[in-house]
Amino acid sequence: MPSTVEKLGPSRVKLSIEIPFSELKPHLDKAYREIAQSVNIPGFRRGKVPPAVIDQRFGRGVVLQDAINAALPGAYSKAVEEAQIIPLAEPQVEVTEIEDRKHVAFTAEVDVRPDFELPDLSTLTATVADVPDREQEIDERIEVMRQRFATRVDVDRAAEKGDLVTLDISASQDGKQIVDASAEGITYKVGAEGMLDGLDDAVVGTKAGDEVDFPSKLVGGPFKGQDADIHVVVKKVQEEKLPDVDDEFAQLISEFDTVGEMRDDLGVRVDQLGRMGQVQEASDKVLEALIDQLDFEAPAGLLEAQVSARTEQINDQLNQAGFTLERYLEENEEEADTPEEFWAEVAKNTEKALKAQIVLDRIADDDSIGVEQADLTEMLFRRAAQNGTSPEQEMQHMMEHDHTSEWMAEIRRTKALKKIVAAATVTDSSGQVVDVASVRPDGSLEEPDADEPVSDQAEEQDAEEAE
């Protein structure tokens, strides 16, 4: 089966393929048999209708087209293998010549993986944030739980910072009430500084029943950013009483009997989250550093299709939420200020993601990275934890929606990324080397080999450093 390959660009080729009639004939015979089994023609038993009669009744062209459709995938795959290219999308196929009993010719244009040279992965570097202060993080988590179990007591005194106040709020401009800028029964913690500029100063010193006015800028809705006169009615002032951090509190919020045991457990979780955060940051930065060193363009056709799909997805999400893009940009902290800037950022991020996939797939292929049953099981458990489902439900979802190949590719890319990060030098903001390769997906550290004493490992490490 002769075939030729023509480069149309850095990442697009055109295959010209010819199928001799000798290779087409088995497909043609099969097409005749299937048609013979499916038709009733007087004088012939089902399945015994001669090809000449089928040609007379239905036309040989119909049978020939069925045979060509059946032969094309195999012929295309063989041509791809001979050309040693890696397609990244479905080909655009055009049958260019059909000469009955001689040959069929067709072309296939397709985006392919571009050629690029990978640098020495050990030259890659990244700097990540320091792990948060352990004791401070533990204290903050405990404080959150104290807030959750706090009790509220009505007080007959002026509001102070830290008190909870119940407010009715309205806004006006030039004496005219703004309908969309009013709310009743809002609970606000004095000093939180998360609502309106000037609100804290206005309510400090007020009691239940007091009313106060002050100017501010509206933070949401159609009048966002505009000056307005704010009127506040204080309905209630409450003092928040936090529980003491003692063994009784530890038993209330955890499975532990003492504060010390509770803090130890929280410390383990803080350590794990800190390590996971460093691994994630390192993965993003190392991969970005690698891509920045590579000189190749993302396949134009594939990139255009992915940008189009992402654009459609975002528009669907905005429509379901009842938002226009302009309103979304007004009410959310996005880097883009205009729709044009937003869509340009979407296209840029889509291109970076596509390049990342191409690079990771290349490394996975070069290293013959495979997917074991344990890898798939781990992914199913992780997805179940994220989605609040069971691994069995995730497996069923994968099978029903034909996600198997997609999820297998994701696993291979994750393994390839781990290889890249393990080869790179990662340091924290303090200049300390971070051993991200030893961190498991749950944030725990990989244990040393049980057959190898820790002291021996330390001696080997010292020897390597001495060399």
Q: What is the pLDDT of residues 139-194, one digit of tens each?
A: 999 999 999 999 999 999 999 999 999 999 999 998 898 877 888 999 999 998 87
CATH class (in words) of the domain with range 151-241: alpha beta
List the structure tokens of 213.
């006015």
Site of tokens 């049958």: 95
Residues 383-401: b if buried by 16+ CB within 10 A, e if exposed: bbeeeeeebeebbeebeee
CA 306 to chain centre: 14
Q: What is the sign of the dihedral through the CA atoms of 155, 161, 162 and 167?
A: positive
CA distance 292 to 358: 13
Confidence (pTM): 0.76
Give residue 213's identity as a one-letter amino acid code: D
CATH class (in words) of the domain with range 279-466: mainly alpha
Q: Of 191, 323, 312, nearest to 334 (Cα)?
A: 323
Residue 388 DSSP one-character state: T
Instruction: Give the domain ranges of the chain.
Output: 3-111, 151-241, 279-466
Fold designation for 3-111: Alpha-Beta Plaits (3.30.70)
Say whether 241 sits in a helix, a strand or coil.
Answer: strand
Mean pLDDT by 10 residues, the chain (467 residues): 86 94 91 85 82 85 90 94 93 92 93 93 94 94 93 93 94 88 91 88 94 90 84 94 94 94 95 92 94 92 94 94 86 83 94 95 94 92 92 93 92 94 94 85 61 40 40
Helix (H) or strand (E) holding 393: helix 391-400
CA 459 to chain centre: 41
Q: What is the sign of the dihedral through the CA atoms of 58, 61, 67 and 70?
A: negative
Give residue 311's identity as a one-letter amino acid code: T
Q: What is the pLDDT of residues 412-445, one digit of tens each?
A: 999 999 999 999 999 999 999 998 887 777 666 7
